[in-house]
Structure 1
Amino acid sequence: MSNYISAEEAISVIKSGDRVFFHGSACTPNYLIDELARQASRLEGIEMVSITQQGNVEIAKPQYKDTFFVNSLFVSSPVRDAVNSERGDFVPVFLSEIPILFRKNILPIDVALLTVSPPDKHGFCTLGTSVDVARAALDTAKIIIAMVNPLMPRTHGDGAVHISKIDKLVWREEELPTVDYGAKVGPEEMLVGKHVADLIDDKSTLQMGIGTIPDAVLKCLNNHKDLGVHTEMLSDGVIDLIKNEVVNNKYKGYHENKTITSFCFGTRRLYDFVDDNPVVVFKDVGDVNFPINIMKNKKMVAINSAIEIDLTGQVCADSIGTLQYSGIGGQMDFMRGAALSEGGKPIIAITSRTKKGVSRIVPFLKEGAGVVTTRGHIHYVVTEYGTAYLYGKNLLQRAHALISIAHPDDREMLEKAAFLRFKH
């Protein structure tokens, strides 16, 4: 353990004005972030860049506003308040192109704070559950500080890094952040999942976005055969499908016999499943989410969600009005890649209403809302009330198709809005 130093000593190399990358999802290095917060009094003008932070994320709190600026590439709950205040901001960018920002010095990284699995007998650690954009940060940062966590899975793919390439090593055993999307699936989500499953042919390749609906879809696939997985994110729902050989990756056309992902986030069962599992390959998100690579998979099915959809098919998936809620992420990468795939199906899957009873199908997007998937890219929209196919339809036809899958109590309002807009 002679190569390991304290968090205090490791973080001491960060200086005022640095741009610091924070590893994301289950790899969020909160132990190192806490130490950075403790050293705030000696620092100023620190810019944090990251995706999908989890846990406490101390520096995002209001008391650090004079020291740290949260410049988020994909917003998650621990940094949401900061991003929507003077303490932070949001960079709209496709997930597939974030590595370009680092590699082309558009957002050059001074220091990368990472969580890695312990070194093997050859001296190689891995980026564990999140290779995604961390590979590019690792490759380009001037200084690499890594927290070596023995509870971090050792993963196969693009995440290997030799211990000699890491400038500062901190040993820290701590439980990884977890989430159980499957436990949050309700009856409406299961109906959506069933309708989506009905669209999926045997020998299809799947991408699942983040949240409960993708897990609901996975719960409905037990009778399918010869499925493949090529996705930016992996959740618990795939485990039993792989174990039961529903997912065998035999007919993908690209990276056959492998489940391809860029990161995973779920329960400890998922982390144990991917640990040293050669069938699950974690790759740089610039590779996984590159639409030309996605389209190489046959019958590529992209399953993503939305905050709201207007009557013409514009999809807002990242904001609630002007409030930045999440990010562009990989939705457009996969919607386009699936559309270009032979037999592919790009799907937006939503419940017709929010938990608060607000219609997700709306006459107009909220003022200030961002369009993630344009109406030129939209194909299938699925709710618990059925499936609307919008591709090739004019605006009025789209409106009628979407109204037919809206909540019954919202249809009269939507019909009036469609009549006022289209006058026929």
Structure 2
Amino acid sequence: MTVNANGAYKSKIKTIDEALKTIKSKDFIIAAMAGSEPIPLLEKLHKIKEYGVRGCELSNCLPMRDYEFIKNPHYSDTIFTAGWFYSPVMRKAHDFGNVSFAPQHLHSSFTKRLYARDNRRLVLLCTCASMDKHGYLSLSLGTTYERQAIDEGAYVIAVVNSKLPRTFGDTLVHISEIDVIVESDYKVPTLPEVPINDKDQKIGEFIAEMVEDGSTIQLGIGGIPNAVAKALKSKKHLGIHTEMFTDGMVDLIQCGAVDNSHKTIYRGQSIATFALGSQRLYDFIDDNPSVILKYGKWTNNPYIVGQNHKMVSINTSIEVDLFGQCASESIGSMQFSGTGGQTDTAVGAQNCSEGKSFIALYSTTKVKNEEGEKVTISKIVPMLKHGAAVSLSRNDVDYVVTEYGIVRLRGRTIKERVERLISIAHPDFRDELSFEAKKNRIW
């Protein structure tokens, strides 16, 4: 470590309270997402109200903790939260009116218009792995929008955590680009392993049958994506170009199914924009030049995605109607999660001449009726629930998969879509779906 870098680093160290006192009224604050969240800062962020700060807006994505500034409406005049992807705490806080969802595609989500329109100062709250001897720190688990905010002149408050993995790509940050440093070696957030059930396994096997050797894949997280990853272990020469780097991908690399040898972009390397999972995953990506984290605006750009060899996109949905519209982020008008990169990757895969895009979901789910009793309903429906957000339009859907099979909708008429979707619905609901299709002239 050079003397100048070492001196610059030490001169920027502050306590959490000192760091928070640098935030001003009407700042536009961006919090690093998911596992990259600066937890020590966010746990105390509500305290800026005591310092007289008012009128700030905070933009976040997939918050990992139950933060006071989000869940307590007492702080809404100090911090109003705009979320790109809801987690349970955001869903609860939405009812209080102090948070709101920001609809957007991930690849185009960060723009100067977010804050410049109000002449706000841009502030980034982020995390970094420890500085190296050359004066560079690493954004570690993600650079979806964090590096871009730094490029656009954000005032940067970074929590430096020696337990974070050091990663490569667009994650490098020089000490000269950071304004305030808070040191805190807290445990890095992890996700519990989601077990694979029988439905997941069937869906995973259906999709795996359609994935050719040499394909480039994009996967999410959860039971279905985990099952797909498991079913892909027998494949050869797969590549990874994904939004989120997961434990399932570590498994595919370590078993030899993924070697990235047939990719057209960054051959020999796995590409993602952020990583989230177990400690095993973090240990795998630490100082590993075969895993590259890139700007979200690049990784998720449909034009870039479509340049990959035999690109395969695999996403999930909450509900699909007989037109092929996918409601993947809301239950009726209630925001449940977020758009994320579903449209980015689904459209991107279809930009590839040999690409395929899959939307997977269970055929049914259980909900409470008006009497509070649990009943089974179909997730393939005549029409989406009132107020539901269409995450993937009927023009952009390709394959749809349930535990009852897989059908292709792209290029098909509404009549053909109705027949195909009903064929993979739960048998108990097929007659009802046919009746509703005729009744509403869905053909």
TM-score (norm 2): 0.92
Q: C-alpha distance in 1, partners of 2:86/2:202?
A: 28
Match in the other structure for 1:56 = 66
Which stretches in structure 1 are left out of the alignment for 5+ residues?
Answer: none
Aligned residue for 1:147, secondary structure, equals strand
Runs of 4+, deviation exceeding 6 Å:
none
8 Å CA contact 1:84, 1:324 repeated in 2: no
Query: Deviation of residue 34 (structure 1)?
Result: 2.0
1:348-394 C-alpha deviation (Å, 9 max, x unpaired) = 01111235433211111111111111111111001111001111211
1:390 to 403, 409, 416: 409
Which residue in 2 is equivalent to 1:243? Answer: 254
- Residue matched to 1:419: 438
- Seen in structure 2, the aligned counterparts of structure 1 residues 104 and 334 have a Cα distance that, compared at 3 Å, is farther
User: Does residue 1:37 correspond to 2:49, yes or no?
Assistant: no
* 161, 165, 173: which one aligns with 2:173: 161
Q: State the SS of the aligned residue for 1:247.
A: coil
Deviation per residue, 1:78-115 (Å, 9 max, x gap): 22222454201111110000133469945865211001
Contact 2:397 / 2:410 at 8 angstroms: preserved in 1?
yes
Q: Distance in 2 between matches of 1:423 and 1:19?
A: 46
Q: What whole-Å deviation, never above 9, does each CA across 1:138-172 have from its counterpart, x for those lacking one?
A: 22243110000111111010010011211000000
TM-aligned CA deviation for residue 29 of structure 1: 1.2
Q: Equivalent residue of 2:378, what SS?
A: coil
| Aligned pairs (5 A) from 1:173-322 | 173-181=185-193, 183-322=194-333
Residue 87 of structure 2 aligns with an amino acid whose one-letter code is S
Match of 1:361 in 2: 380
Asked if the contact 1:102–1:140 (Cα under 8 Å) also holds between the matched residues in 2, the reply is no
**Cα deviations by residue, 1:295-354 (Å, 9 ceiling, x for unpaired):** 110110000011110001001111111111112111111111100102100110111123
Which amino acid letter does the alignment assign opposite residue 46 of structure 1? C
Instruction: Give the drift of 1:59.
Output: 0.9
Q: Deviations over 1:173-227 (max 9, x none)?
A: 111111134x332111111111111110100000112432111100111110000
Would you say the 8 A contact 1:396–1:418 is kept in 2?
no
Distance 2:152 2:185 in 1: 27
Look up the equivalent residue of 1:33 and give its one-letter code.
L
RMSD: 1.7
What residue identity is the alignment partner of 1:329?
Answer: G
Q: Give unmatched runs, 5+ long, in structure 2.
A: 1-8, 368-375
Spell out, residue by residue over 1:388-411, the C-alpha distance to the aligned partner (whole angstroms, 9 max, x if none). 111121112101101111112221
After TM superposition, give the deviation of residue 126 of structure 1 in Å: 0.9
Aligned match for 1:170, one of 182, 198, 206: 182
Which residue is equivalent to 1:406? Answer: 425
Shift of the 171–102 alpha-carbon distance from structure 1 to 2, 3 Å rule, reads: farther
What is the correspondence of 1:341-352 to structure 2 with a 5 Å cutoff?
A: 341-352=352-363
CA deviation profile, 1:21-41 (whole Å, cap 9, x unmatched): 111111111210122212322
Gap change, CA 1:381 and 1:101, over 3 Å in 2: farther
Query: Which residue is equivalent to 1:28?
Result: 37
| Identity value in percent | 38
For residue 281 of structure 1, give the secondary structure of its aligned residue in structure 2: strand
Q: Does 1:139 align with 2:151?
A: yes
In the alignment, what sits opposite 1:129? Answer: 141
* 1:239-278 deviation line (CA, Å, top 9, x unaligned): 1211222101111111111100000111111111111110
How far residue 413 of structure 1 moved from its aligned partner, in angstroms, is: 1.6
In structure 2, the CA distance between the partners of 1:96 and 1:84, relative to structure 1 (3 Å rule), is farther
Judge which range, 86-95 or 352-361, deviates more. Answer: 352-361
CA–CA separation in structure 2 for the residues paired with 1:180 and 1:246 = 24
Q: 1:102 to 1:227 in 2, by over 3 A?
A: farther
Residue type of the alignment partner of 1:116: C
Matched residue, 2:340: 329
Q: How far apart in 2 are the matches of 1:109 and 1:278?
A: 35
- Provide the rounded CA distance (Å) in 2 between the counterparts of 1:376 and 1:109: 39
Give yes or no for the alignment of 1:92 onto 2:103.
Answer: yes
State whether residues 72 and 83 of structure 1, in contact with CA within 8 Å, keep that contact through their aligned partners in structure 2: no
> Aligned with 1:177: secondary structure?
coil
Question: Quick one: distance in 1 between partners of 2:436 and 2:350?
Answer: 30
- Name the residue aligned to 1:72: 83
Name the SS of the counterpart of 1:137 in structure 2. Answer: helix
Give the secondary structure class of the aligned counterpart of 1:34.
helix
1:100 and 1:195 mapped to 2: Cα distance? 39
Change (3 A) 1:101 1:307: farther
